[in-house]
Chain A
Amino acid sequence: MNDMNSDPSIHIRRSQLGRARGLGAAKSGLHHWWAQRVTAVALLPLSLYFVASVLILSGASRAEMAGYMAEPWNAVLFLCLIAALFYHLALGLQVVIEDYVHNDAVRMASLLGLKGLIVFCALASAVSVLKLAL
């Protein structure tokens, strides 16, 4: 944003094609907000289920944990949890990065790195659950 020490000036750049076509917003501004709320609501029961699972599995052996995941409901609920949790996390951390990282190149690199790491961890978690379950 504006550097308060620099001399103030105004020149807004907008592409001539964009002006000619009268293009405004991309019409997708609500999606991020809505997806964050949908995943939040999904995580209300799922996080309580997760907390209960952690209590049940505290001090469990690997065989006991595999037995827990082998119950279809547990595997499915864990996969639901992983999907909602990582989606919610990606949306939330994206906003944090957008708020505090002002350099365009660093922000783009951070967002891409974040999304990549989250997809990787989500898949690693889901595959691990499936390996334990099957």
Chain B
Amino acid sequence: MKDVRDALMVGRNTEGKLVNRPISPFMLGSAYKPQMSSMTSIMHRITGVALGAGTLLLTLWLVCAAAGDTAFSIIQAFLASWLGLLILFGFTAALFYHFCNGIRHLGWDAGRGFELPVMHNTGRVVIAATIILTVAFWAAGLYFW
């Protein structure tokens, strides 16, 4: 045993013998069916990690811009390529999802929106808002570009 919390996971059976207490199955797998609560939660984490990778790209973009014309033209050409646009599309979708679901989380932090029907509704609003904002961003991007 390495952790104090492990003490809570050990108990005695009716014969007084030490046994490991049963634990819940892992969150992913056949034990649970997908739900609005679990799926929006795991998507928040996945988009958060993806945005971390996107932030590396932001750093690269700023550093190239500061470095000089050659470096900046290379990064701009990459971002305008189909692969770059695909990455940027994923970046914006992840950003809008994390943004909208983040507001949902702040609402929970304020003690609001815990009722199941409300939680299901706000989850649907987050998904719809993500799609609308992403499409609107790219429509505006193609219009200005």
Contact = CB atoms under 8 A, between A and B. Distances in A.
Given A1-B5, A14-B4, 11 more contacts: A2-B9, A44-B103, A47-B95, A51-B92, A58-B141, A62-B65, A89-B51, A89-B52, A124-B62, A128-B66, A131-B66
Interface residues of A, number: 39
Interface size class of B (residues with CB under 8 A): 35 or more
Given A4-B23, A40-B106, A62 B55 contact: no
Interface in B80-137: 80, 92, 95, 99, 102-103, 105-106, 109, 137
B145 A58 contact: yes
Per DSSP, chain B at the interface is helix
A18 to B, nearest CB: 12
28 contacts: A1-B9, A2-B20, A4-B20, A7-B18, A8-B19, A9-B10, A11-B1, A37-B109, A41-B106, A43-B102, A47-B95, A58-B141, A59-B145, A62-B65, A62-B69, A65-B72, A85-B55, A86-B55, A89-B52, A92-B52, A93-B48, A96-B49, A104-B2, A121-B56, A124-B63, A125-B59, A128-B59, A132-B65
A76 interface: no
B31 interface: no
Contact of A10 (B1, B58, B59): B1
B48 A92 contact: yes
A10 B18 contact: yes
Nearest to A68: B65
Interface of A: 1-2, 4, 7-12, 14, 37, 40-41, 43-44, 47, 51, 55-56, 58-59, 62, 65-66, 85-86, 89, 92-93, 96, 104, 121, 124-125, 127-129, 131-132
A19 to B, nearest CB: 13
A11 B2 CA distance: 9
Nearest to B71: A62
Nearest to A90: B52
Nearest to A123: B59
A92 B23 CA distance: 26
A77 to B, nearest CB: 13
